[in-house]
Every structure is written in structure tokens, then in C-alpha cells.
Structure 1
């Protein structure tokens, strides 16, 4: 069903984000080739820092911002607060990310990298402002709470990141820089990505599956366990507390994941639509793969510093290249065709096409047949220190990214087409 006109934001608030994110995704995997030799080492390396920030900011966050500009009016049942702010956010985030990535790669900590960090923080602030006012004027739900809280954690992540950049130049923080870096990464992963994905998927999964049961009480438990664990981790990370607090914080976040997984299971079990398309299959694959970074994190917390350097890199890549990237790649072909469909059809006329007509299911299947084994080879190569496995994994992931990028461009190209299918049918 076509949503009301006021819930359909202008194309410039959504489509450019997808385009830039796709380009960033291709560059991220491409940069892994010259960086393959260092991926098995310590995660605090210039090339790893550059690739990680491009993946986080240019790929995942960029695409999430674009999708959020479309989903916020639908979830809140209210028009986007401003259609001008997304233009400013796009420019600031693109410029800031570019400055950060280039200077991380060079390991240069001059005015350019501080400017980049400041631009990213400003972009996040504007996005949060737009999202907050959109949801405040509309309908409130547990999904809304997740999304807005995730925006706050994202702002905190960016502020901590800028502080750490300054510390690398002037070294004024009392504890080790790497200890604060752990806090920065944890807040970004669990506070921003995990919480945002939980909030959005809590609406999209029941909607796409036509679930008859949506146990929102489980989502409330998830929300409080996530944020309780994050708050505890943040406090002990900044103010050095007892060593036992970090495992407790991890257990709280793990409990939140269990409640969320239970929610997804009940939605799946009560679904009227039993047959899953490949976009939804990839979504469930991504959720199941969340266990890998959690296991790696648990082992790292328990083992302390006795593990090889590559384990830290493997944990970060298992989260970003696995859970986050796979769920984004799957949901792209659930959300983008719908977005394009709204712009090529008129709300006042019966649609000649449906969203399912705008993409190719076989290409979605192909991208995951390539990406999933490539991802597993990548993580295995990092953990075992085998560069040949890394190159094999990167090669498969690059092919998958090329299929994904071409498919996204194919869908967006429909905006320029005038669909007149009925004219091709002889009138009797």
C-alpha cells in the first residue's frame, strides 16, 4: 500500500546516501587488498584504522542515514521534520569521512584530520536533530525509543573519537589510549549499530513476514539490558573500575541479544508468510552470525592480553563485515525497491508495478553465495594469520560487492524510466 504523500520524503533525502554508501563499500573491500599483510596484526594500525572508519562511516552509517530519512516518516506517521538537513548531513559526512580516512591511512594528525572529525560530529548532530523532531511530532513506540537512543550513543561515539584524535596529537588523557579506544568501539558497535538495527528490524521483520504475534515486552527487556550494559561499560572504561565490571557489562548486553533473538524467533514462528525471499534469508543469516563477534569478544575479555594481536581485528571485522554488512545487503533489497516504487508511481493512480518487480531475486541470492564464504575465509585468515586465505576471502567479497553495487544502480535507474506496461498490452 502506498503511504500518504506527506510520508514520502524527496528523493534527494534518500537516494544519494545509497549511492555514496555503495561506492564506499567497494572502496572498503578494495583497500583490504593492499592492507592484507597487516590485517593479521594489531588493530591499532593506520591502514586498519582507515578501512574501519570508511566501513563504519562511509558505508554502514551513510546507508543507514539514507534509509532512516525514509523510514522515520513511516514509523512516526509524520512528515520528515526537514528535507534540507539531509543535504547538509550528506555533504558534511562525506567530507569528514574522506578527511579521516585519508589521514588515518597516512597516520597524519594535523588540522585536516581534526577538521574531518569535527565535520562528522556536526553531521551526526544534525541527523539526530532531524530524527528527534520527526519522531517527537509523530507516533511513539519501542522502535522509536531504540532509534533515538541509538542516535545519542552515536553522538557520544563521535565525541569520544574526536577526543581520541586530539589525544594522539597532544597525549593528555590519564590512561592508555588503547583502553579509551575500546570504549569508543564498544559504544559505537553496541550503542549505535546494534541498537539501531534492533529498533528498525523490530518493525520491518514483522511487517515483511506478516507476523501475527509481536512480543514487544521482549523488546523492552532488550532495550534496558543493552543500555544498562553500555552504561556500565562506559563508566568502568572512563573511570577505571574493578575488572569484574567489564564481564558483567558484556553479560547484560548478551542478555539483551538473547531477548531480541527470542523476539525474532516468535515473529518468525507466527508469520503468515512462511516462504522467505533472499533478502529476508540474509537478514536471518546476519542475526545468526552475531554469535561470532560475541564469542570472540567473550574470549578476549576472559583471556585478557594472552591472545594473538589478530583477535581484536577479527572481532571488529566479524561484527562489521558479518552482522552489519550482511543485514544491510539483505535489507537493501527490501527497502530500496519500495522507496523507488513510491517515486515512480502516483498516490492517486493504481500502480502498474510493485516493489518486487524492481529487483532481481537471483542477484540477491548470488551476492550472498559469494559474500558469505568470502567473509568466513577473511575471518579465518585473520585468526590463523594466513594471508592466502585473506586474499581468497577478499576476492569473493569484492565480487559480491560488485554484484550488490550493480544491482543497487539497476534499481535506482528505474527512476528515469517511464513504466507503461499496459501500453504494451493490445486493447481488445
Structure 2
């Protein structure tokens, strides 16, 4: 990651995203604690909608946007197009996210919910324009660029469809039931935005962190076109006909694309020069395991849906939790302490390299807090997910408490990194 350069303006916007996202994570766990009983019901519940959107927007999307401003220039090997656009996007995103979550929590459809959705849509468009113009500065196109820009387009479409659904509460926009479009909205966000963006960035950073000799992109190319094909197939078929036995074909195509990505990661792991895998990377690999478990639930969801079996709701609830609170959360919990310490290290020590003995990026966070955070998150995974499926409140309470502990440990460690003071150990 030597391509990162010291830039005070860019540093401030990136760190602000990390800090606000960490606060959203803690707020998310508080809302979960206040609505434990809602997890035993239907996923189309006001409190569940508020929690889901806080997880997707305040926790997942916000930190991805912030990290993207620093990491996308590294992946694309160019400078960010505009810091002003980044600040403007953030300034619109934050009130839009807060307004939308509050509107869902109290479930008051109307002008406040609609304005919040429009703020989020404008912010997403500005973010996408910034990423696109950043990519235009690079002459040679890469598969990572295809992943990243496709993900940004999907973010815009996801938010646009979400905004339409918000307006549909008070005016007739769609002739069909909102739940029909909610499936499209959710998967456009999960697969189109999160999966494509995370594959695009991680396929560059993970080999870098592992110091891998593997440089092939053929598997990534196959992964990109298979996942895009599956997503388009699903959106068109599900919109026109709803879930059917054809949905299994979509699942197989998308699963093949995901398998190509996992094989790519395996090849990077096998050819790594750095044999020891640190705890942040172990958190990242845990996220891929949780993603696999979530994907394996999809055939059951399709089957029970076609049989009109009420078990569809339980499986769908656990699937969403595995995706948002399992895969995405675990990946963020791990990669934060690979990316943020390096970003802070560049600010404090890049100009001192070769002159003084300096700490390593891994010295900037508290290792004992990261270990405790990992243990707490594992407890959350083995209690909350089964608790929601079996609708057993003691397990759900245990899981939410563990996740709140995770959030507290995480935010403390993020603060330690952000407020780090420059120190040296003498001249070389």
C-alpha cells in the first residue's frame, strides 16, 4: 500500500467516515437491544426496517465510502478526483440516513421520510460521479475498476428503488405489493453494491496484505461476469414473474461466480510470502465463511417460498442477519485494523521513514482489544443467529449483548488509532 500519499484534506474526510460509522455501529446495537422481540416476527417490521437500514447505510455503506476515498486511488493507481465532492456527499448522506432510520423506527411515512430518501440518492450519485471521474484519470482499465464502478451504479439504483418505495407509502407508484420490490431492493444492495464493491477492493488489498505472488485476474473476470449475469437475471425474472424454479438457475450462476472469487482468495493464500496470518485477516476470512453459510441458505428460501411454507420468513431473517451482521460486519471489523492504522501511520510517519525508528501500523491499535472484540463477535454469531431462527429470546439477548460489547471494544480501538500521537524511538 505504498501508493498512499499524505494528504491532510483526504485524511480528514476518511477518518470522519470511520468515526461516524463506528458510532452508527454502537447505535445499531442499542436499537437491536430495544427491539429484541421484533426479531421473532416478520422482517417487514418498522423496527427491523430501521435496524436494517442503519446497518446497511450507517455501518456498512458509510465506512465503505470513507475507505473508498483512500483505497480506490490505490486500487486504480491514481488520485481521487475531488475532496469537495466527497465532503458534499457526506454532508447529504448523514442527515438522510438519520432521517430515514428515525422515520422507519417511528414509521411515519411522509415528507420527512421522502426528503431523507432524496438526500441519500443525491449523496450516492455524487459518490458515484467522484469514483467514475477518478477512474477516468487512469488510462489502463482493470477488472477491479469494473467491479467498483458497477457497484457504484448498483448503489444508485438501490437507493433510487428504495426512494420509490418510500414514496409508494403515500402515493401509488407500484401496482404490485411493496414486498415484491423489497426483494429486488435488498438484493440489488447486497449483491450489486456490497458484494461487487468488496470483491473489487479486496481482490487488490488482500494479495497486498498477504504479500502474495499470485497475480492472475482470469478468475476475477469470470467472477465478475457470472455475478453480474446472475444479478441481472434475478432482477428481470423476479420483477416479471416473482421467485420460481428458474431462480435456482440464478443461484447456480451467482454461486459459480462467488466460487471463482473464493478460488482466487485460496490461490492468494497458498502463494503468500507472509506465512503468519494476523487477527484482522482472520476476521476477514471468518466473514467469507459466514458469507458461504448465508449463500447455502438461499436454496432453502426458494424452496419454502415456492411451497408457501411459513419457514421462508425464518430462513429469510437469518439470511439477512448473516449477510449484514455476519459477513459485512466481520469483514469491516477485520479490515478496519488493516486499513485505518496504515492511513494514520502515513499521516504521522511517512515523512520520518529512513530518518527515525518508528512504530509499525500494527502497533497503532490495541491488540488485546481486538482479541476481545473477536471473541465477543464469535459469541454473537453462535447465539444470535440460532436464537432468531428458533425464536428463543434468551439466546437473542445474549447475542445482542455480545454485539454491543463488540461495538464498544471496536469504537475504543478506533479512537486509539485516530487519536494516535507521533512518537519515535531515536534516529537511525
Same fold by TM-score greater than 0.5: yes
Query: Contact 1:17 / 1:66 at 8 angstroms: preserved in 2?
Result: yes
Q: Secondary structure at the match of 2:389?
A: helix
Q: Is 1:42 aligned to residue 42 of structure 2?
A: yes
Q: Name the structure 2 match of 1:380.
A: 386
Q: Secondary structure at the match of 1:421?
A: coil
Q: TM-score, normalised by structure 2?
A: 0.95
* Pairing 1:6-155 to 2, within 5 Å after superposition: 10-138=10-138, 139-155=140-156
Which of these residues, 321, 341, 344, is aligned with residue 340 of structure 1?
344
Q: Is 1:358 aligned to residue 364 of structure 2?
A: yes
CA–CA distance in structure 2, aligned partners of residues 338 and 264 of structure 1: 22
- Deviation for aligned residue 1:117: 0.4
Q: Name the structure 1 match of 2:158.
A: 157
Query: Contact 1:85 / 1:126 at 8 angstroms: preserved in 2?
Result: yes
Query: Contact 1:187 / 1:230 at 8 angstroms: preserved in 2?
Result: yes
Which of these residues, 283, 300, 325, is aligned with residue 321 of structure 1?
325
**Uncovered stretches (5+) of structure 2, i.e. residues with no partner:** none
Q: Secondary structure at the match of 2:310?
A: coil
Deviations 1:291-316 (A, max 9, x none): 22112222111111313333222111
Query: Contact 2:300 / 2:315 at 8 angstroms: preserved in 1?
Result: no
Query: Contact 2:148 / 2:197 at 8 angstroms: preserved in 1?
Result: yes
Which of these residues, 296, 305, 309, is aligned with residue 306 of structure 1?
309
CA–CA distance in structure 2, aligned partners of residues 4 and 154 of structure 1: 26
- Deviation for aligned residue 1:243: 2.1
CA–CA distance in structure 1, aligned partners of residues 350 and 341 of structure 2: 15
* Pairing 1:236-247 to 2, within 5 Å after superposition: 236-240=237-241, 243-247=244-248
CA–CA distance in structure 1, aligned partners of residues 209 and 2 of structure 2: 15
Q: TM-score, normalised by structure 1?
A: 0.95
| Residue-pair matches, total | 422
Q: Secondary structure at the match of 1:32?
A: helix
Q: Name the structure 1 match of 2:211.
A: 210
- Deviation for aligned residue 1:244: 2.8
- Deviation for aligned residue 1:349: 4.6
Query: Contact 1:9 / 1:79 at 8 angstroms: preserved in 2?
Result: no
Q: Name the structure 1 match of 2:374.
A: 368
Deviations 1:267-297 (A, max 9, x none): 1011111110000011111111112211222
CA–CA distance in structure 2, aligned partners of residues 141 and 395 of structure 1: 43
CA–CA distance in structure 2, aligned partners of residues 7 and 250 of structure 1: 43
CA–CA distance in structure 2, aligned partners of residues 14 and 242 of structure 1: 40
- Deviation for aligned residue 1:4: 6.2
- Deviation for aligned residue 1:171: 3.2
CA–CA distance in structure 1, aligned partners of residues 342 and 264 of structure 2: 25
**Uncovered stretches (5+) of structure 1, i.e. residues with no partner:** none
Query: Contact 1:164 / 1:177 at 8 angstroms: preserved in 2?
Result: yes
Query: Contact 1:311 / 1:382 at 8 angstroms: preserved in 2?
Result: no
- Summarize the Cα distance change of 1:269–1:50 in structure 2 as closer, same or farther, 3 Å threshold: same
Q: Is 1:275 aligned to residue 281 of structure 2?
A: no
**Deviation larger for 356-365 or 196-205:** 356-365
Q: Name the structure 1 match of 2:226.
A: 225
CA–CA distance in structure 1, aligned partners of residues 9 and 143 of structure 2: 23
Query: Contact 2:244 / 2:302 at 8 angstroms: preserved in 1?
Result: no
CA–CA distance in structure 1, aligned partners of residues 370 and 261 of structure 2: 26
- Deviation for aligned residue 1:9: 5.9
Query: Contact 2:82 / 2:130 at 8 angstroms: preserved in 1?
Result: yes
**Deviation larger for 195-204 or 45-54:** 195-204
Query: Contact 1:300 / 1:307 at 8 angstroms: preserved in 2?
Result: no
- Summarize the Cα distance change of 1:403–1:348 in structure 2 as closer, same or farther, 3 Å threshold: closer
Q: Secondary structure at the match of 1:299?
A: helix
Deviations 1:224-261 (A, max 9, x none): 11100000111112222682332211221111111111
Query: Contact 2:359 / 2:424 at 8 angstroms: preserved in 1?
Result: no
Query: Contact 2:180 / 2:242 at 8 angstroms: preserved in 1?
Result: no
Q: Name the structure 1 match of 2:173.
A: 172
